[in-house]
Amino acid sequence: MGSTDPIRSFRAAIAVTLGYAPEVIEPGRLMRFATSSRRSDTAGWCKLFADLRGGVFGDHRAGISETWNAIDSAATTRAQRAELARQVAAASVERERQQRDQWAENAKRIARLWAECVPLVPGDPVTLYLKRRGLAGVWPLPACLRLHRALPYWDGNDRVGTFPSMVAPLVAPDGRIVALHRTYLTTDGRKADVRSAKKLTATAGPLTGACIPLLEPARGVIGIAEGIETALAAWLASGVSTAAAYSAGNLAAYRWPAGVRQLVIFADADRAGGRAADELEARAIRAGLRCNVLTPSDEGADWCDVWAQRGAVTVDGAAR
């Protein structure tokens, strides 16, 4: 139900569901807005219909889509319900077309950026950075990790400068690169002094199920961790070929490659990591996989922390 001001009521419904809402809503226009604190985020979308009787909204990243009605559905006529359904369907077509166009444009940008990256060589900023993270002696590093020698860093509309950067692809289950993960560095392998040293490009498709495929499964076994450094440390500690999911949410939604018989989940020791690991474990077991969940004993730690602090740790329980 709505209030006497349908725009205000519509905005309130969006805020309650998504946690964010656009400051200004123009009836009849499909709008994009941020559903996070990132300035460049446009995952949110909404359309308040021109008659102010209904609208649709959602979050592309979270896969949320909701319908809002200004009138109690029990009080609407059959004709009004039919008209609302027509407008919802039309808005859905418009939203999907707009998203496809944006993904296609983002794919071109991703391809151009990826083409500018070069393979790693010992002593470059990326290998120095990984050495500082406790991952010295690993060579060759996974081929999907590359160096961009001078990647522009933008803080909103302000170009701060250019930095050497570690760049890695997020690859969808169908093999498409749907985003690039960037870690901005200094020439001597430290994180750059910027607002956020780690960023994801705009996406060229859904991130659900995507990962950074650092290593291929070996003998039917694959490991999965959240971050790149965590996955590399887990591999060193266990010998299990491990991929990086990028985030806890993506770890929960991870789709393992065909032919995998056992999944090893290297969970972060925090609430989000634990929930994601539990969700993925349950899904893997339902699919008939053997599954191990390994979590550091120290609250808040990940496997990169464990490896860096304790040296040549070995991890049991990852049967191969």
pLDDT at 228: 97
pLDDT at 317: 45
End-to-end CA gap in the chain: 56
Q: What is the dihedral of CA 183, 184, 190, 192, to 10 degrees?
A: -140
Q: Find where tokens 């474990």 sit.
A: 281
pLDDT at 319: 41
pTM over 0.95: no
Contacts of 273 by beta carbon, 8 Å cutoff, 6+ apart: 226, 248, 251, 267, 295, 302
As given in the structure block, the two tokens for residue 84 are 């609302």
Contacts of 304 by beta carbon, 8 Å cutoff, 6+ apart: 133, 134, 135, 227, 229, 230, 232, 233
**What does the alpha-carbon distance between residue 273 and residue 280 come to, in Å, rounded to a whole number?**
11
As given in the structure block, the two tokens for residue 102 are 């944006």
pLDDT along the chain (320 residues), means of 10: 78 95 95 81 90 92 87 81 90 89 94 98 96 88 97 91 98 96 98 96 91 96 97 94 95 96 97 96 97 92 84 49
**Domains of the chain listed by start with CATH number:** 6-111 (no CATH), 119-209 (no CATH), 211-320 (3.40.1360.10)
Closest CA to 226 of 208, 204, 249, 207: 249
CB 229 within 8 A of CB 245: no
